[in-house]
Amino acid sequence: MGIMDLMNFGKETMKKVCEISCDNSIVAIRKMDDVVRVKGLQKLSEYMADDEGRAKMVHFTAKFIKNVSVFALREAANILIPG
């Protein structure tokens, strides 16, 4: 058994491992796609907020982003401007 035989054996082994891994990944992705697209969309309407709930979420999110921005600017000022 020469070096070339050993290299070909390693190459073929890696090729088989990659094919098996790819096949398993494809099966997992198909299952996730089925759960998210088909089954998930059917149940989504149960959890959707009404207009008032959406308005509250938008209001909260806007305040949250504003507060985070102000905090980030203050921290940046503390770092860049000592004292």
Report the pLDDT value the prediction gives residue 68, as an integer from 0 to 100.
Answer: 93
Residues 37-52 have pLDDT tens digits of 777 777 776 777 788 8
Residue ranges for the chain with pLDDT beneath 50? none
Query: How much is the pLDDT for 65?
Result: 93
Instruction: State the burial class of residue 67 (Cβ atoms within 10 Å of its Cβ: 0-12, 13-18, 19+).
Output: exposed
What b-and-e string marks burial along 20-55, b requiring 16 or more CB atoms within 10 Å of the CB?
eeeeeeeeeeeeeeeeeeeeeeeeeeeeeeeeeeee
Model pLDDT, residue 8: 75
Q: Check residue 64 and give its pLDDT.
A: 94
- What's the pTM value of the predicted model, to 2 decimals? 0.40
